[in-house]
Amino acid sequence: MIRLQRLPQPDNFSQRAQDWERRFSAERARNPKLTISKFWAAVRQEIRPDAEILFRNFHGKCAFCESKMAHVSSPHIEHFWPKSKFPHKTFAWRNWLLSCGRCNEAKWSHMPFCGPIPCLIHPIIEDPQKHIGFVGPIVVEKTERGKQTIELVGLKRLDLEEERARWLDQICQLLLLATIPTFHREARTLLIWAMQPEAPYSAMTQAYLLEVAPRLANPPQPHPYIDLANGIQQIRQLVEQNSNAIHDLA
> Could you report the per-residue pLDDT of 198-217, keeping only the tens digit for each?
999 999 999 999 999 999 99
Cross-strand partners of 14: none
Give the pLDDT confidence score for residue 231 in this predicted structure: 94
* Model pLDDT, residue 106: 65
CA–CA gap between residue 40 and residue 46 (Å, rounded): 10
pLDDT for 74 beyond 60: no
Distances from the Cα of 187 to the Cα of 164, 190, 192, angstroms: 19, 5, 9
pLDDT at 108: 66
Is a pLDDT exceeding 70 seen at residue 54? yes
Residue among 77, 91, 76, 87 nearest 35 (CA): 87
Q: Angle 146-147-150 (CA atoms, 0-180°, nearest 5)?
A: 85
Q: How far is CA 24 from the centre of its chain?
A: 30
Looking at every residue in the chain, the average pLDDT score rounds to: 92
Give dist(CA 108, CA 117) in Å, integer: 18
> What whole-number distance in Å separates Cα of residue 132 and Cα of residue 113?
17
Q: What is the pLDDT of residues 88-142, one digit of tens each?
A: 999 999 999 999 888 887 676 678 899 999 999 999 999 999 999 999 999 999 9
Residue range 8-42, pLDDT digits in tens: 999 999 999 999 999 999 999 999 999 999 999 99
pLDDT value at residue 105? 77
70 confidence band (pLDDT: 50, 70, 90): low
Q: What is the pLDDT of residues 139-194, one digit of tens each?
A: 999 999 999 999 999 999 999 999 999 999 999 999 999 999 999 999 999 999 99
| Cα gap 60→69, rounded to integer Å | 6
Task: State which amino acid sits at residue 47.
Answer: I
**Phi, psi at 160, each rounded to 5°:** -70, -40
Q: How confident is the model at residue 7 (pLDDT cuts 50, 70, 90)?
A: confident
